[in-house]
Amino acid sequence: MLRIVDQVATAHVIRFAPASRMKRTDVLPTAIVVATLAICGCSKTDSTKPRSAEPSTGTPAAVGTGGAGANLKDDDDFVRDVALKNMAEIELSRMAVSRTASADVRAFAQMLVDDHQAAANALKEVVSGQGIEWPAQLDDKHKKTGDDLAKKQGLDFDREYMDVIVHGHQDLAAKLESRLDVQSVAEWKTAAAARTQNSAMPDPRATLGDVAVRPAKSGDPMTNKINQWAAQTYPVAQKHLDTGRTLENAVKKRATH
């Protein structure tokens, strides 16, 4: 059995980007640390200066750095995919806030809603005016996931919600890694594992400030900015994933008793 933390801590802020923040709430049956992350594309942005008209100023990233070279289509696809993934996280979490009977699941879901919306603003600012469109709504795949979840109730709902959230963050983390320096990701994971080796949950006070995730290098200035956003987002996504897994296991144990 997981040990239950007796007190619910007030919000703890971790920087996601200079203009965005993350909150932390301890919830039963174990401490839930939630960091800021997400992209919510609610509407298409106006495009004023398409990057396709701008020449590339460099060469693609070297093998082993993780990122692609300057390419408008690659950037457009990346932003769209991440926007859809995280728009889905927000919608599913809003559903969980209103439907779950579990205080810990509700707190986790509310933090995801807040954090993902804050991160959306950061990425939108990065790509503003670059001809990169935000999806106006969820695609059919993510809509079906929401429709299926809406049919669940009680513990079945909590189990299904946590399963979807964990898998969603696994996909998101993998997507972000495509924009990062491979070696720095390996170093960060090693440091993070060492910090949490003897804990059921990641330590919310461990900032890993001595190990930075580096963006993959590109000759295109906009690609570099997107990669930098990914580097700032990645540690937060991993903390979401770790805490989500812990809560998912707790929900499953609760369902067997």
60-80 b/e (C-beta count within 10 Å ≥ 16 → b): bbeeebbbbbbbbebbbebbb
Assess whether pLDDT exceeds 90 at residue 244: yes
Tell me how many degrees the CA angle 50-139-51 measures, rounded to the nearest 5: 10
Assess whether pLDDT exceeds 70 at residue 127: yes
pLDDT digits (tens, 9 = 90+) for 137-180: 999 999 999 999 999 999 999 999 999 999 999 999 999 999 99
Q: Is residue 82 part of a domain?
A: yes
Considering the chain, what is the average pLDDT of its residues?
Answer: 74
Count of structural domains within the chain: 1
Q: Is residue 23 part of a domain?
A: yes
pTM given for the model: 0.69
Confidence of residue 40 (pLDDT cuts 50, 70, 90): very low
Q: Is residue 5 part of a domain?
A: no
What kind and span of H or E run contains 93? Answer: helix 72-99
Output the pLDDT for position 196: 60
Distance of CA 186 to the CA centre of its chain: 18
Q: Is residue 19 part of a domain?
A: yes
Number of other residues whose CB lies within 10 A of the CB of residue 19: 10
- Between CA 210 and CA 189 the distance in angstroms is 12
Q: Is residue 177 part of a domain?
A: yes
> Using an 8 Å Cβ cutoff, are 34 and 242 in contact?
no
Q: Is residue 110 part of a domain?
A: yes
- Joined together, the tokens standing for residue 212 give 């930075």
Q: Is residue 8 part of a domain?
A: no
Query: Mean of the pLDDT values across residues 111-115?
Result: 87
Output the pLDDT for position 240: 83
Domain that holds residue 169: 14-44+52-252
> Using an 8 Å Cβ cutoff, are 116 and 165 in contact?
no
Which amino acid belongs to residue 79? V
**% pLDDT > 90, the chain:** 43
Assess whether pLDDT exceeds 80 at residue 204: no
Q: Which of 208, 186, 184 is nearest to 195 (CA)?
A: 208
- Joined together, the tokens standing for residue 98 give 């209103």
Confidence of residue 124 (pLDDT cuts 50, 70, 90): confident
> Using an 8 Å Cβ cutoff, are 30 and 248 in contact?
no
Q: What CATH code is carried by the domain that includes residue 226?
A: 1.20.1260.10
Q: Is residue 193 part of a domain?
A: yes
